[in-house]
Structure 1
């Protein structure tokens, strides 16, 4: 743990989560490596999934709320020919389509099936999801054998691109079609549900067998640290640098930075009105807070303390 005289770590770190780790596992490991309890993550990845997980340390955890809502990119493999209880390979399979039925699913039909799953769509989340129903997680209710009905929600699929299609037979003699895809989507999209819905549209069932998150907003997995190779806490991205990648920026002088940190309104001559957050950055490249602006006056959305908690 950090000593009483040493500020606790404060910043953002990009992690490449390996398969088999939960998001909670990743947070727990970073707590040990960084010596602080104050660690959070932006956007859960299932244990089966790999790829980009963004962790916040110290007061930078306040940025995670805004990172969660950014668009995302995934690489995935959809297996056509069978559905599962969880819509992915972690669940129990629910039977197999006959080979004669699979033979009728051409590459062209797969491409046509993706079209109505692109753009602004209404998506019913997977039953085994973390969405709360009457105060309990849907996956917990499903595991208890309760019937779970989730409402459709609006999501946007910016891109649903086929990267490759392969056909085969498993060890039990059941045929399948594997479709490798790239998906760019809004926050809240379930890639498992896309696999389920594509299989349904084609009449052969479908579930996800591989998933890798490659991007969140402007943050890319190519810049991430391999979690299973970390032996000590990595260098953190500063709150100011992260905020620049998410929000418009206004630079403050020393007086403005002090007044804003005290919760006061600051006059920002010539700065356009903004109902969306603006990053207010002070001297020494310190993220003072997130603000909105109306008639050249700031309004604090969230402030960032000058000192992080001591652990």
Structure 2
């Protein structure tokens, strides 16, 4: 997957270009965590690739500098979570921060009963987004309406659960490993699973461990990053992953210098019939230059380029 990944550009000003894998702590919003990382690296531009609720911890990829040009491709990537739920109580927010709004019996459920409902939630499913979410309706975030006590109709949305396994069963607590598509609400999934099993539940802990191509790479806490920054800028820079790690899952195309130059000027480049149509990561002899789109006839057109790149 990491074949062809380019070296990290090190601009003289404005901070590094690349990706930092932050281990976000519980209690901190994704935006505050992002700003702390941005300031540590002295970056003018930064963005994350899918927020985590303050209750949640774990992987928050932070794109710095030119890597923000490719952050959108991570927003739509699959995610991996480990979640702990508690049977017998449903809360207004779907997690421990909300008031209990329903109590249900759970003592009758066995591990086998709970496992039996899991297959029905694997693959494409429909979810009704929770009221406590950042989705907008009528130009206003749903959570703002919920805080006023309002409940409005929310259309169900299709999401995909790629993997769903019960990891621990210590009733009334249980833990799940979930791999899912963009837009999946883990709080809603836990509620729906418990309802299908004949009870109710809410989330007590949530941790993200994977996002797109990032899973086995090391994550860094804010404290660890601060310690590296205190050692030296060079030590801190060592944790920055290259820009093209954001699109490492795409096929790779390497062009001769002349063809790369033409592509960078907006001209199509003929690749031949080999290879499937779709997005590819493109390299010149000097390294990664951006993304292209291969057509059905093998013609490559530019999709998104680095702001500065060499051929």
Place the TM-score, normalised by the shorter chain, in its bin.
Answer: 0.7 to 0.9
Show the counterpart of 1:224: 219
Alignment map for 1:140-159 (pairs within 5 Å): 140-159=144-163
Q: Closer, same or farther in 2 for the Cα pair 1:290/1:62, shift >3 Å?
A: farther
Match of 2:95 in 1: 88
**Aligned position for 1:174:** none
SS in 1 for 2:19: strand
Among 246, 249, 259, the alignment partner of 2:252 is 249
1:189 aligns with 2:184: yes
Within 1, Cα distance between the matches of 2:62 and 2:184? 20
- Where do residues 269-280 of structure 1 align in structure 2 (5 Å cutoff)? 269-274=272-277, 276-280=278-282
Q: Distance in 2 between matches of 1:127 and 1:241?
A: 35
Give yes or no for contact 1:272–1:293 (8 Å, CA) kept in 2.
no
Distance 1:273 1:179, change over 3 A: closer
CA distance in 1, matches of 2:58, 2:264: 36
Look up the SS of the partner of 1:112 in the other structure: helix
Displacement of 1:234: 4.1
Structure 1 residues 121 and 304, CA gap change in structure 2 (3 angstroms): same
**CA distance 1:289–1:202, shift in 2 (3 Å):** closer
User: Counterpart in 2 of 1:125?
Assistant: 129
Structure 2 length as normaliser, TM-score?
0.87
Pick from 186, 200, 205 the counterpart of residue 210 of structure 1.
205
Shift of 1:267: 2.3
- Match for 1:6 among 2, 13, 18? 13
The alignment's TM-score, normalised by the length of structure 1, stands at 0.87
2-structure distance, mates of 1:130, 1:162: 28
**Kept after mapping to 2: 8 A contact 1:288/1:305:** no
* 106, 110, 131: which one aligns with 1:106: 110
Distance 1:272 1:88 in 2: 46
Residues 96 and 285 from structure 1, CA distance in 2 versus in 1: closer, same or farther, beyond 3 angstroms?
same
Instruction: Quote the offset at 1:262 in angstroms.
Output: 2.0
Question: In structure 2, what is the Cα distance between the partners aligned to 1:228 and 1:147?
Answer: 40
- Corresponding residue of 1:172: none
Confirm whether residue 19 of structure 1 aligns to residue 26 of structure 2.
Answer: yes
In structure 2, the partner of 1:303 is: 305
| CA shift for structure 1 position 102 | 2.1
Gaps of at least 5 residues in structure 1 are: 168-176
Give the deviation of 1:152 after TM superposition: 0.9
Q: Which moved more, 1:196-205 or 1:43-52?
A: 196-205
Deviation of 1:273 after TM superposition, in Å, equals 4.6
Q: Secondary structure at the match of 2:100?
A: coil
Q: 1:178 to 1:123 in 2, by over 3 A?
A: same
Q: Tell me the C-alpha RMSD between the 2 structures.
A: 2.1
The answer to whether the 8 A contact 1:18-1:228 is kept is no
Distance in 1 separating the partners of 2:217 and 2:250: 22
